[in-house]
Structure 1
Amino acid sequence: MNSKPISLEDLHLENWPNLILWAAPIMFLLVFIEWGISAYQKKDAYSTKDFFAASTIGLVNVGISALIKVATFGSALFFYNISPFTIPLTWWSFPLCFVAIDFARYWAHRVAHEQRFWWATHITHHNSSKYNLSVSFRLGWTQHIKVIFFFPVMFMGFNPFVFFICHQIAVLYQFWIHTEYIKKLPRPIEFIFTTPSHHRVHHASDEHYLDKNYGSTFIIWDRMFGTFMPEAERPTYGITKPVTSYNPIYLVFHEWVDIFKDLKKANNFKEGWRILFDKPGAEVIASREKEELPKQEKAPLEEEEVLA
């Protein structure tokens, strides 16, 4: 057990490096370079409206992250203080924590594709038909509730500062894999790390590509748990039911609105649970209505037979 609990004041969060904020100018510069190259080559890689939608979503998300920073790392501190383990703040604690975070990210990401409630926190990242560096900015404003998937990592006894740095690096890694300009890399890299080739498959709406390549930094989790698929033909990007709006608020909340509408039609708790936690696209209400329709059509026939 930790000999002395640490408080938020002890952490001095205001002095911790904001790697994402520091990297932002470089990220935007690379976006404009990629956009310029695609325009020069007359490729349909960017849309002005899509770019501004992604940028707005991303900037608001940065603001939300800043607002809840204390709550997020207050959670890390809470689990660190109650953990029976203490991993010293040394150089090797950083790679160890990073691997643990990436493992948690794999499962958080996978669940976000396999259960509709969590999909609603993630769909914003997928509802663009484009695939370029700016797509990495499209992170749903409700995605922060997925912090609960990282509680086990926090409980492992990593110093909150180690968790903070590794978490930021894990987020930054996602930027460079959102491009079509980097083709397949040498085999050792493709075997261990998530690359643009792997992530293009993940962003596809083609049926055979769906629900593949969840890995954030390491693709080895997909190889281990049977969700890996190599890239073959060029994917069709977006979601299976495309959205045509560029309104950031709509792009963030449209799935939540649809869930709420379906919940209002639910007849019982079981239906409500299925609406929330069945796979995205499972038409719970439509299936029930199809089952009820033959019964409604059959009843008048039975009455006519009685009268006859």
Structure 2
Amino acid sequence: MFDDFNELLGAPKIDYLDVTSLESESANLIVYAIPVMAILTLIEIWYSWKEGKKSYNTTEALGSLFVGLGNVAINLFFKATLIYGSIFLYNLVPWRMMLNWWTLIPCLILYDFCSYWSHRISHFNRFFWSTHVVHHSAESYNLTVSFRLSWIQHFKTIFFIPIAIVGFHPVIFFIANQISVLFQFWQHTDHVPKLHPWIEKLLVTPSNHRVHHGSEEKYIDKNFSAIFIFWDKLFGTYQPEEERPTYGLTTKINTSMNPLYLNFHEYKDIYADVKQAKGIRRKLFFMFGSPGAIYRDKIKEKKLKE
């Protein structure tokens, strides 16, 4: 048994010249899934129209699509950087795991744990919130919202460094990443009701994730998990869906199809807040404070001026 364990952790270092073969071994699941996602989105649009449900705002949906297309281009640009970075970290530790497919299971669980904290911190630190706010700015909840991801979200890669330090092979890491991204696609719909209680207790379902996108007080900053909902239950951030949420931000922005505006409007707001703030402490608060605390602070200031 221990010999098998030692063999698992005795993988050789990866030569940087082997990047091409590494890319070919990392099956591009997302590319294969694009036609399926496109068909499911068209079915949802048709169903929404047929049932007379207002699940789609044309301008907003186009904005989500343009943001998603930009993301594809940026991901292609950063792919090599991420691969070389993962090889560097993998080679750095002495307990490297072999490319063994069963290691995908523990890797996926650890990836989901890191994803929970990456997501949670993105809601409690304005710097990281600025890399996530685009996803929450949609006021209609549909499958196109899953394409609405920040162009600068790669800052949050730092939260996944523990996966490399544990020694998981880069190929396993990239497959776990793709599984997580694809699993979150189906969560963004208003048309799937609550599922069997066992499923709702284990996985992040559309019902669980609708809560996360809600702007009601009891729904704000809840249900951060990506695949397994038990992280929220473990860390006290779980909230079941009680009534259908009102989607979007507490501070509304213009409905726009302009991907530049959708991605960077928060930085304009940060600049304005920092500029008017007095003292370094207040300036840092507006840069790195909790978005919720900043929102309440502005409400308080507004009331004092009235």
TM-score norm. by structure 2 comes to 0.90
Closer, same or farther: CA 285–45 of 1 in aligned 2, 3 Å: closer
2:79 — aligned with what?
A: 69
| Superposed counterparts of 1:46-61, under 5 Å | 46-61=56-71
Please say which of residues 79-88 and 189-198 is displaced more in the overlay: 79-88
Judge which range, 158-167 or 257-266, deviates more.
257-266
Kindly name which structure, 1 or 2, has the bigger radius of gyration based on alpha carbons.
1
Partner of 2:18: 10
Q: 1:269 & 1:6 partners in 2: Cα distance? A: 46
Matched, 1:249 2:257: no
Secondary structure of the 1:208 match is: coil
Residues 38 and 45 in structure 1, CA contact (< 8 A), matched pair in contact too: yes
**Is the 1:170–1:217 contact (alpha carbons within 8 Å) kept by the matching residues of 2?**
yes
Q: Does 1:259 align with 2:270?
A: yes
Contact 2:222 2:238 in 1 (8 A): yes
* Residue aligned with 2:291, SS: coil
Quote the Cα distance in structure 2 between the aligned partners of 1:284 and 1:129.
19
Q: How many angstroms does 1:5 deviate by?
A: 2.6
Distance 1:139 1:43 in 2: 25
1:136 counterpart letter in structure 2: S
- Give the deviation of 1:285 after TM superposition: 12
Distance 1:132 1:265, change over 3 A: same
Cross-structure match for 1:130: 140
Match status 1:164 vs 2:174: yes
Which residue pairs with 2:288 in the alignment? 277
**Residue of 184, 187, 190 corresponding to 1:177:** 187
Deviation at 1:51, TM superposition (A): 1.2
**Equivalent of 1:118 in 128, 135, 141:** 128
Q: Is the 8 A contact 2:131 2:150 kept in 1?
A: yes
Q: Counterparts of 1:91 and 1:188 in 2: how far apart (Å)?
A: 27
1:146 aligned onto 2:156: yes
Unaligned runs of 5+ in 2: 1-8
What is the Cα-based RMSD across aligned positions, in Å?
2.1
**Alignment size in residue pairs:** 292
- After superposition, give the CA deviation of every residue in 1:191-227 in whole Å (9 maximum; x if it has no partner): 1111000000000001111000000001000000000
Q: Show structure 1 runs of 5+ residues with no match.
A: 295-308
Task: Judge conservation of contact 2:110–2:163 (CA < 8 Å) in 1.
Answer: yes
Partner deviation per Cα, 1:99-123 (whole Å, 9 max, x = no partner):
0100000000000011111111000
What fraction of aligned residue pairs are identical, expressed as a percent?
43
Structure 1 residues 126 and 3, CA gap change in structure 2 (3 angstroms)? closer
* 1:212 matches 2:215: no
Distance 1:267 1:285 in 2: 18
Change over 3 Å in CA distance of 1:32–1:285 after alignment to 2: closer
Take 1:272 and 1:7, find their aligned partners in 2: how far apart are those partners? 45
Q: Which residue of 2 aligns with 1:300?
A: none
